[in-house]
């Protein structure tokens, strides 16, 4: 056992060796056996007649059939949105705000049901979907409802006008929350939307159609089309889109930009990240360890701004790693519906294969792998919390986004070295700094090339705070006044 300053850390092994009474969440997710596209305020069958299965990644069992939208369905969605735009865009802001408030309240009313549906479809622990995803989604609608009748204060001296119809494609890591990030600002400004959720996590978006109906949102203001990447390409490339907003991988983001090069399409791109979480020797180490754990193991590490590169100052590296291992032994991996679970299922078999491939590459290149003891569930896609030490900057695990519960550890000696190493990445989405010195925090927040820099905390989100990247992490902002203005026509 690794020594700490006060002697050996107590050996606490949770895993499967310390049984907890099961505490499953039991709210009814009210799933349909088969969903339909939501176009022009109606539930419509895909013209191809094709459906695919959405499965529960924790059990590999089928949950529901999801329609596969083709080009004709995407055309119909854009036609419905274009027709709705004429009336929606001229509605007084206070009226649009009322719809957004209603949506937020309805989502709160049905929060338990949506949390269970999100966990079943995506594999994330119920405590996260219940305490983070669903409440934050509602908060985004509340926040933007507040802006809808106050747009003159968002850009003083300018009259904000909507752009028109917006095409939006979202990923599988925060399905309902990403939908809220995209829809709420677009609607507050008077735009209409065609949105495609990710193939593996379409259920909460399709359930959300029911909330739009209950809120009485005029038909065609929001249209939901489901399918795979091909459907996404039609949504992004449609000539009727005034703007496209995409969240997902840098690779697909680049493909969309190539597809749209030469057009006057407005774009927001929220792409990958490889955030540095930097721990200095004067940091409160126990607090920092909690921040490191939250930074990389939240949502199984399926987080674009995850603190996936730990940069720790050499003098405290051994202590931090010992404390971290001790803390990681307490993480419970298992049934996402159990309220005790810290790490749920990996979202898909394909993502599990990617994580395994990259971790194997890390070991091949010389990194040392450490995982806590404990058995994983026999069924479903699971991966244990993983530490890779002895990582150097050239290793793939220090450069590529793993998008899983895997932390790569590097060390540094000086502040300059920390900044240089943190910025030595193609990405620039987020970073974390742990130190007692305010002046150092100010210096790092200026010199780190990252859209968000958290100080003595990590993964803090608020609808009023803009979020977005530099470099290959994308451009444009979501949230806050800046995110709102990205949905307004240029003056």
Q: How far apart are CA 20 and CA 42, in angstroms?
A: 46
Q: Which stretch binds ligand NDP (CB under 6 A): 35-43, 113-121, 144-152, 166-174?
A: 166-174
One of 228, 349, 361, 426 touching ligand NDP (CB under 6 A): 228
198 binds ligand NDP (CB under 6 A): yes
- Residue 118 is a catalytic residue: no
- The catalytic residue among 25, 128, 304, 305 is 304
171 binds ligand NDP (CB under 6 A): yes
- Please identify, using beta-carbon distances, which residue of 163 and 275 lies nearer to ligand NDP: 275
One of 168, 173, 389, 435 touching ligand NDP (CB under 6 A): 173
Q: How far apart are CA 231 and CA 290, in angstroms?
A: 40
177 binds ligand NDP (CB under 6 A): no
User: What is the H or E stretch that residue 137 is in?
Assistant: helix 134-148
- The catalytic residue among 25, 118, 270, 400 is 270
Question: Least distance in Å: CB of 228 to ligand NDP?
Answer: 4
27 binds ligand NDP (CB under 6 A): no
Question: Least distance in Å: CB of 262 to ligand NDP?
Answer: 17
* Residue reference for tokens 């695919």: 52
Q: How far apart are CA 426 and CA 253, in angstroms?
A: 14
One of 292, 304, 431, 448 touching ligand NDP (CB under 6 A): 304
User: What is the H or E stretch that residue 215 is in?
Assistant: none
Residue whose CB is nearest to ligand NDP in the complex, by number: 232
- Please identify, using beta-carbon distances, which residue of 27 and 228 lies nearer to ligand NDP: 228
Question: Least distance in Å: CB of 304 to ligand NDP?
Answer: 3
Residues that bind ligand NDP (rule: CB under 6 A) add up to a total of: 26
- Please identify, using beta-carbon distances, which residue of 64 and 170 lies nearer to ligand NDP: 170
403 binds ligand NDP (CB under 6 A): yes
Q: How far apart are CA 391 and CA 409, in angstroms?
A: 6
- Please identify, using beta-carbon distances, which residue of 280 and 427 lies nearer to ligand NDP: 427
One of 232, 362, 374, 463 touching ligand NDP (CB under 6 A): 232
One of 106, 177, 187, 271 touching ligand NDP (CB under 6 A): 271
Q: Phi, psi (5° rounding) for residue 479? A: 95, 155
- 286's CB contacts (< 8 A; 6+ apart) are 323
One of 39, 180, 195, 252 touching ligand NDP (CB under 6 A): 252
Three-point CA angle 368, 10, 295, nearest 5°: 50
Q: Where are the alpha helices (DSSP H) in 30-92?
A: 71-88
Question: Least distance in Å: CB of 412 to ligand NDP?
Answer: 25
Rounded to an integer, what is the distance from CA 396 to the centroid of its chain?
Answer: 22
Q: Phi, psi (5° rounding) for residue 110? A: -105, 25
Q: Which stretch binds ligand NDP (CB under 6 A): 36-44, 249-257, 367-375, 445-453?
A: 249-257
354 binds ligand NDP (CB under 6 A): yes
One of 255, 257, 260, 318 touching ligand NDP (CB under 6 A): 255
203 binds ligand NDP (CB under 6 A): no
- Please identify, using beta-carbon distances, which residue of 226 and 389 lies nearer to ligand NDP: 226
Residues 362 and 388 sit within 8 Å (Cβ to Cβ)? yes
Quote the tokens at residue 324: 């971290």
Q: How far apart are CA 402 and CA 410, in angstroms?
A: 16
One of 70, 185, 190, 248 touching ligand NDP (CB under 6 A): 248
- Residue 270 is a catalytic residue: yes
- 486's CB contacts (< 8 A; 6+ apart) are 185, 245, 266, 268, 476, 477, 478
249 binds ligand NDP (CB under 6 A): yes
One of 148, 256, 276, 283 touching ligand NDP (CB under 6 A): 256
Where b means 16+ CB within 10 Å and e means fewer, 114-140 reads bbbbbbbbbbbbbbbbbebbbbbbbbb
Instruction: Classify strands 309-313 and 406-412 as parallel, antiparallel or unpaired.
Output: parallel
DSSP string of 371-415? --S-PPPSSS-----EEEES--TTSHHHHS---SSEEEEEEESSH
For the annotated catalytic residues, the residue numbers are: 270, 304
Enumerate binding residues for ligand NDP (CB under 6 A): 169-173, 196, 198-199, 228-229, 232-233, 236, 247-249, 252, 255-256, 270-272, 304, 354, 401, 403
């Amino acid at each position: 056992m690794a020594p700490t300053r006060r002697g050996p850390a107590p050996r606490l092994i949770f895993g499967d060796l310390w049984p907890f009474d099961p505490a499953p969440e039991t709210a009814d997710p009210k799933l349909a056996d088969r969903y339909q596209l939501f176009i022009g305020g109606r539930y419509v069958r895909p013209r191809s007649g094709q459906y695919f299965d959405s499965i529960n990644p924790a059990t590999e069992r089928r949950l529901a059939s999801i329609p596969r939208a083709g080009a004709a369905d995407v055309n119909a969605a854009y036609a419905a949105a274009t027709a709705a735009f004429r009336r929606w865009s001229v509605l007084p802001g206070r009226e649009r705000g009322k719809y957004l408030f209603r949506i937020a309240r309805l989502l709160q009313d049905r929060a338990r049901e949506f949390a269970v549906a999100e966990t079943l479809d995506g594999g994330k622990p119920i405590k996260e979907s219940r305490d983070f995803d669903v409440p934050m989604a509602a908060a985004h609608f509340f926040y933007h409802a507040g802006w809808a009748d106050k747009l003159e204060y968002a850009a003083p001296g300018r009259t904000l006008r909507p752009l028109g119809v917006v095409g939006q494609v979202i990923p599988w890591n925060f399905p309902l929350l990403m939908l809220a990030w995209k829809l709420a600002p677009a609607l507050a400004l008077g735009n209409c939307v065609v949105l495609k959720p990710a193939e593996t996590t379409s259920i909460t978006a399709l359930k959300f159609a029911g909330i739009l109906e209950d809120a009485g949102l005029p038909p065609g203001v929001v249209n939901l089309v489901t399918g795979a990447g091909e459907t996404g390409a039609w949504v992004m490339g449609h000539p009727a889109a005034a703007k496209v907003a995409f969240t997902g991988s840098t690779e697909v983001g680049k493909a969309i930009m190539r597809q749209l090069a030469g057009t006057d399409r407005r774009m927001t791109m929220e792409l990958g990240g490889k955030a540095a979480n930097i721990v200095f020797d004067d940091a409160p180490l126990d607090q920092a360890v909690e921040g490191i754990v939250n930074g990389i193991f939240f949502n199984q590490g399926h987080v674009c701004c995850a603190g996936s590169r730990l940069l720790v100052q050499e003098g405290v590296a051994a202590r931090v790693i010992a404390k971290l291992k001790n803390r990681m032994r307490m993480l419970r991996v298992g049934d996402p519906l159990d309220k005790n679970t810290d790490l749920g299922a990996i979202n898909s078999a394909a993502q599990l294969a990617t994580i395994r491939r990259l971790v194997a590459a890390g070991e091949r290149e010389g990194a040392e792998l450490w995982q806590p003891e404990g058995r994983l569930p026999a069924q479903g896609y699971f991966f244990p919390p993983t530490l890779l030490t002895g990582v150097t900057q050239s290793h793939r695990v220090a450069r590529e986004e793993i998008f899983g519960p895997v932390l790569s550890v590097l060390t540094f000696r000086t502040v300059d070295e920390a900044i240089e190493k943190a910025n030595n990445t193609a990405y620039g989405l987020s970073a974390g700094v742990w130190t007692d010195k305010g002046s150092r925090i100010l210096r790092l927040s200026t010199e780190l090339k990252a859209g968000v820099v958290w100080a003595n905390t990590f993964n803090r989100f608020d609808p009023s705070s803009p979020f977005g990247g530099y470099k290959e992490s994308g451009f444009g902002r979501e949230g806050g006044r800046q995110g709102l203005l990205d949905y307004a026509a240029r003056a």
